[in-house]
Amino acid sequence: MTYRDATIHDIVLRPLRRFSDARGWLIELFRHDELASQVHPVMAYVSETLPGIARGPHEHADQTDIFGFFGPGDFKLYLWDSRPNSPTHGCRQAVVVGASQPTLAVVPPGVVHAYKNISDVPGLVFNAPNRLYAGWGKKEKVDEIRHEDMADSPFVLD
């Protein structure tokens, strides 16, 4: 399948506001009163991605990811809508997020996603998914289709 560039339905990209004072800064990553109840986070983690390195592309059948890109570093976030019943099925969206554009990104199930550190410094990414990794007690199958492991994947990062 060839993906066309467009804005993807159900993707939330919201600027994160940085509150700064003499002590430093603070960013609210999410609030329950600003998220639909079905995507309320059940866990959270932070990952470091080295310069020039990508994570993904992969997708989830049931999980929604709530990413916080706030720096250090900038990332190119790639999204592909592979949901058959979506009005934007077959669309691809790419945006720069991170230190230069602090952004909250809500990625629903069925949207293939990847991000690449496009900075010369390690970058941090916060994620607060609405499902536990490997389920309760880490005893279930991981909800992840890893397209990055497929030689003929149509999900190519530029």
- Which pLDDT score, from 0 to 100, does residue 9 have? 98
Position 140 in a domain = no
- Which pLDDT score, from 0 to 100, does residue 123 have? 98
CA distances, 103 to each of 3, 22, 67, 69, 118 (Å): 24, 23, 8, 5, 15
Position 88 in a domain = yes
The predicted-structure confidence for 16-50, as pLDDT tens digits, reads as follows 999 999 999 999 999 999 999 999 999 999 999 99
100/49 Cα distance (integer angstroms): 16
Position 24 in a domain = yes
Position 66 in a domain = yes
Position 92 in a domain = yes
Position 135 in a domain = no
Residues near 38 by beta carbon (within 8 Å), at least 6 away in sequence: 64, 130
Is the pTM value of this prediction over 0.85?
Answer: yes
Residue 1 pLDDT exceeds 90: no
Mean pLDDT of 60-76: 98
The bridge status of strand 4-5 relative to strand 91-98 is parallel
The bridge status of strand 45-49 relative to strand 24-27 is unpaired
- Which pLDDT score, from 0 to 100, does residue 77 have? 99
The predicted-structure confidence for 97-139, as pLDDT tens digits, reads as follows 999 999 999 999 999 999 999 999 999 999 999 999 999 999 9
Backbone angles phi, psi at 38, to 5 degrees: -70, -10
Q: How many domains does the chain have?
A: 1
- Which pLDDT score, from 0 to 100, does residue 122 have? 98
Position 63 in a domain = yes
Position 147 in a domain = no
Q: Chain-wide mean pLDDT for the chain?
A: 97
SS3 99: coil
Please give the radius of gyration of the chain, using alpha carbons only, rounded to the nearest integer.
16
Residue 5 pLDDT exceeds 90: yes
CATH of the domain at 61: 2.60.120.10
* Domain carrying residue 32: 4-128
Nearest to 81 by CA among 6, 4, 8, 154: 8
128/34 Cα distance (integer angstroms): 14
User: Which percentage of the chain shows pLDDT scores above 70?
Assistant: 100
